[in-house]
Amino acid sequence: MDALVSHSLFISDLHLTAERPAANERFFHFLKDTAARAEALYILGDFFEAWVGDDALAYPLHSAVAAALKALAERGVRVYVMHGNRDFLLGEDFCRASGAALLPEPHVADLYGQSTLLMHGDALCTDDVDYQHFRRMVRDSAWQAAFLRRPLAEREAMARELRNRSEQIKGDKRPEIMDVNAGAVEAAFRRHGARRLIHGHTHRPARHGVSVDGAACERWVLPDWYETGGYLACDANGCRLIMLA
């Protein structure tokens, strides 16, 4: 996309962690080489492999990521973050350190004249009943307050246990259960009056045409960054999915 044309970038599911240094370096390069030319950068959840509270900014990787985003914001690029299922505890301290604004989920943005619904995407996977129950539990303010009262090391251990258990459970589920539900997608379009939806979570990058009450809509799914990564670039002419080499 031409750097002179006003455009915004969308990423999700980077799952940044010290255990995958190559992905981290790919992200830092993306900020300097690509995001610096954009008008805005939207990070739609699962930015980190896990975020157990803003005191995790003490970790070298986390502080380096926040500093890199801050530098981008100071260059005039608007930076937005949204909670995912791995980093729903990102809070005000992270936003101050990174210069990012925390978006509610879902959020409707006026994207160059096009009403665009932004989500992480996990709320659309309604066929996965067990996960939706877990999601409601960990998004509860009382649960979060109790969790954050625990020592940082204990929270890290609990997060690792939850991730391991999640991977084991996913191996027993049919893949289609973990994808979005078509009815939930249509309901989201109706509820928010949008004609475009951008989300991550499913790790199945693509553009899907959707007909909602006779109206043509589009659903863009963002790629994960486990292997190469990628992003969605949108301007007044539309959106384009770009995979990194």
pLDDT digits (tens, 9 = 90+) for 115-144: 999 999 999 999 999 999 999 999 999 999
Q: What would the pLDDT profile of 182-205 be if each residue is shown by its tens digit? A: 999 999 999 999 999 999 999 999
Could you tell me the CATH superfamily of domain 8-243? Answer: Metallo-dependent phosphatases (3.60.21.10)
Domain ranges for the chain: 8-243
Q: In this structure, which amino acid lies at residue 145?
A: A
Residue 168 has pLDDT above 80, yes or no: no
Write the DSSP string, 226-239.
Answer: SSS-EEEEEETTEE
In contact, 202 and 178? CB cutoff 8 Å: yes
Residue 180 has pLDDT above 70, yes or no: yes
pTM of the full structure: 0.95
